[in-house]
Structure 1
Amino acid sequence: MIVITAPTGNIGRHLLPLLLEPVPDGETFRVVVRDPARLSDAVRDRVEVVTGSHGDPGTVDRAFEGADAVFWLVPPDSSLTPMDAYCGFTRPAAKALATHGVGHVVGLSALGRGTPVAGRAGLVTASLAMDDLIAETGVAYRAVACPSFFENVLEEADSIRENGVFTDSVAADRKAPLVAVADIAGVAAGLLLDRSWSGTADVPVLGPRDVSPNDLARIMTEQLGRPVRYEHQPTGEVFRTLVGHGLNEAFVQGIVDMKRAKDDGLDAGVTRTDETATPTSFEQWCTETLLPAVHG
């Protein structure tokens, strides 16, 4: 029995088809979801559904009973501090993992462990603490360690369409790994289906090559057939904007600290190899995902 949390999110909606098509012999699946109506009919017919939040003790107790493996993803909650959002949310699950003797957990986490800036990286620091909390239960644990996602660009689809501009707070020429969520789902699916691993380790997913914001602007210009440029946004402005939208100040500071750490090389500590590279290029992602979003 494999339990999938956040099955309707950006990664979960890619992960489930990889697990279900076709279903391996003897494997069964359970999903934890607040609103089962968000699952497709095809998925609901092939999985057991536990309704509720996977941050709730009773929900994870029901969900993890009889489970062999769990895919763990913490949904961002901007009303909390970073540590409460990650570790506070995960503590009931950690207790349930131990109670039910779950053998394997694959968690969505972040790059940066062991780097000089890991302790001051905001949301990433909290995510790494979450990894430690899960590992302390004694399960075999793999932290799928991610850089920023291609999909973050979708938040700026309107600005790209209307103004030909996207923004971030890293240096324009700062090259760093960037990855598609579909590739993250592919790595997670492989780990969940082949549970021959043991112990605790990070599994970096780095995309096919490092790219800078200027590289992204050039690629988007080529793929969209219209000029797109990068505009640097100071972190102080990021903070004021997000707090102005009503987000918890401590959570926003976690976002700002993460962005500063990325500009200081947070994601640069892992060498890209055949094992850590993933296949989807930013060019391919633009054609398949960004182009319809911008034109839509």
Structure 2
Amino acid sequence: MTIGVMTPKGHVGAHVLRLLVQAGVRPRALLRDPGTLDADIAEHVDTAVLDAWDAASVVDATSGLEALYWVSPTATDRDPVEAHMNAAGNVRAAVQANGIPRVVFQSSGGAEKRHGVGEIDGLAATELALDESGASVTHLRCGYFFTNLFMDLESIRDGALVTAMDLDRPLPWVAPEDIAAVAAVRLLSRSWAGRSVQGVHGPEDLSFRQVAEILTDALGHAVEPKQISDAEVRSTLTSLGMSESQVDAIVMMTVGIRDDYTPEDPRSVATATPTALKGWAATHLA
């Protein structure tokens, strides 16, 4: 079985790669520069050069695959949504050209809205493109990554968890390694076919107020939640030199989930994963 793994150095992809190796498979790591793969995993995998925005490289890198784990990368030098749409067309063409029978796509909660969720709109476009590819496809609708907290470390150290989200709105929070476990099981299984959506929700829904309480316990110092306005977020991102389209892609992710969103995938035994935020934070943040 030849399984291709996108973003094999990422928060999820690195775990997917390791799990496949531990399952006795020699996966193919798909990345821009194979030389940057850690030596300890590199000896157990094959590699191929893949640039998601270059159609020829996507076709070449995925030739001969029986299954593909696809992650659409975020573009930092252009409109992120347009970049996702470009990559979506490339992966659809590659799946069709190479006859890849199964694809597992790392999507996101909110993609079912199709429009109005910022960068997630690009993931929605990728879902639609893969649905048209002729392959059997599983879309993993993932919750809010624990690792997103890494982007707010300075504020957390100073005792504040800052967000534009409603502080009391519960959201699914999930460990990237748990997403990897769901993905690896799907990639290894030949028992499913057609199109399916799999929520990946972590063990419980948490509001930012609850997350701040968990961080307080795990880190040993007070962390208070602080809600800021969309205008404040826009101003901060613009001051960092981001373009209007890049700012919109970030701001609208929060707006689209916060203001008018009911998840298509209800929490259930099929969507719950085991890693709790408190233990994860004690290990990775403390």
Equivalent pair of 1:3/1:29 in contact (CA under 8 Å): yes
**Equivalents in 1 of 2:33, 2:262: separation in Å?**
34
Q: Name the structure 2 match of 1:149.
A: 145
Equivalent pair of 1:78/1:248 in contact (CA under 8 Å): no
Q: CA RMSD in A?
A: 1.6
Pairwise CA distance, 1:126: 2.0
Pairwise CA distance, 1:113: 4.8
Q: Name the structure 2 match of 1:294.
A: none
Amino acid at match of 1:13: A
Q: Does 1:206 align with 2:201?
A: yes
Q: Name the structure 2 match of 1:195.
A: 190
TM-score normalised per structure 2: 0.94
Q: Name the structure 2 match of 1:57.
A: 55
Cα distance change on mapping 1:259 and 1:80 into 2, 3 Å: same
Q: What CA deviation, in whole Å up to 9, does each residue of 1:9-54 have, x standing for no partner?
A: 111111111110141xxx4421111222321223221211112423
2:104 is paired with a residue whose SS is strand
1:160 pairs, out of 147, 156, 159, with 156
Amino acid at match of 2:12: I
Q: Name the structure 2 match of 1:40.
A: 38
Q: Name the structure 1 match of 2:180.
A: 185
2:117 pairs, out of 117, 121, 138, with 121
**Equivalents in 2 of 1:204, 1:237: separation in Å?**
31
Equivalent pair of 1:5/1:54 in contact (CA under 8 Å): no
Equivalent pair of 1:32/1:54 in contact (CA under 8 Å): no
Unpaired runs of at least 5, structure 2: none
Size of the alignment, in residue pairs? Answer: 285
Amino acid at match of 1:73: V
Q: Name the structure 2 match of 1:4.
A: 5
Unpaired runs of at least 5, structure 1: 292-296
**Equivalents in 1 of 2:50, 2:256: separation in Å?**
34
TM-score normalised per structure 1: 0.91
Equivalent pair of 2:88/2:125 in contact (CA under 8 Å): no
**Equivalents in 2 of 1:119, 1:92: separation in Å?**
21
Pairwise CA distance, 1:268: 3.9
Amino acid at match of 2:121: T
Q: Does 1:137 align with 2:133?
A: yes
Equivalent pair of 1:2/1:70 in contact (CA under 8 Å): yes
1:88 is paired with a residue whose SS is helix
1:76 pairs, out of 68, 74, 85, with 74
Q: What CA deviation, in whole Å up to 9, does each residue of 1:155-211 have, x standing for no partner?
A: 1112222x1112110111111111111111111001001122111111100111111
**Equivalents in 1 of 2:214, 2:102: separation in Å?**
39
